[in-house]
Amino acid sequence: MKTQIKPYRHKVQYYETDQMAIVHHSNYIRWFEEARVDYMDQMGYGYKRMEEEGIVSPVISVQAEYKSMTRFGETVGIEVKVLQFNGVKLTLGYHIYDSETNELRCQGNSEHCFIDKEGKFVSVKRAKPEFYQCMKNTIEI
């Protein structure tokens, strides 16, 4: 059964803006992470649990394309979508949009791998089949 994931919502804070009164570009990458953590919590197998069980998932690449400016006090929605997942690597896509107007603010993706505490690659399909299934249950077909 497919798990329905709701978009993550973030209210822009003053400290996230720059001298031009718009959100500094680096914050979008932070929002990707906030949304990714929320995504995994919603799917039923969060980062905290995964790390407690000895698996970490570092970012190996991240890309962002800025479409329009976001300002202090606005609320954005962040949709996360699995683009690729094979149990060893995971690529997620992000769409950040204004919650009131639906105007696209930023889109991007992040790529991750799975490793154990010693830094060795892990196939979560074999090592953590419950996590693998939770992730598969969120993928749109």
Tens of pLDDT along 108-141? 999 999 999 999 999 999 999 999 999 999 886 5
- What's the distance, Cα to Cα, between the start and end of the chain in Å? 12
The architecture that CATH gives domain 8-136 is Roll (3.10)
**Exposed e or buried b for every residue in 51-81, given b needs 16+ CB within 10 A?**
eeeebebeeeebebeeeeebeeebebbbbbe
Given 18, 38, 41, 98, which residue is catalytic?
18
Mean per-residue pLDDT over the chain, rounded: 95
Position 86 pLDDT exceeds 70:
yes
The reply to whether the predicted model has a pTM over 0.85 is yes
Span 18-33, average pLDDT: 95
Span 19-30, average pLDDT: 95
User: Half-sphere exposure (CA, 13 Å, Cβ side) for 45?
Assistant: 17
Element (H, E) at 77: strand 75-85
Single out the residue of 106, 64, 110 nearest to residue 85, CA to CA: 110
Asked about 18 being catalytic, the answer comes back as yes
Span 32-46, average pLDDT: 96
Which residues touch 51 (CB under 8 Å, ≥6 apart)?
none
Position 2 pLDDT exceeds 90:
no
Q: Work out the percent of the chain whose per-residue pLDDT is above 70.
A: 98
pLDDT of residue 139: 85
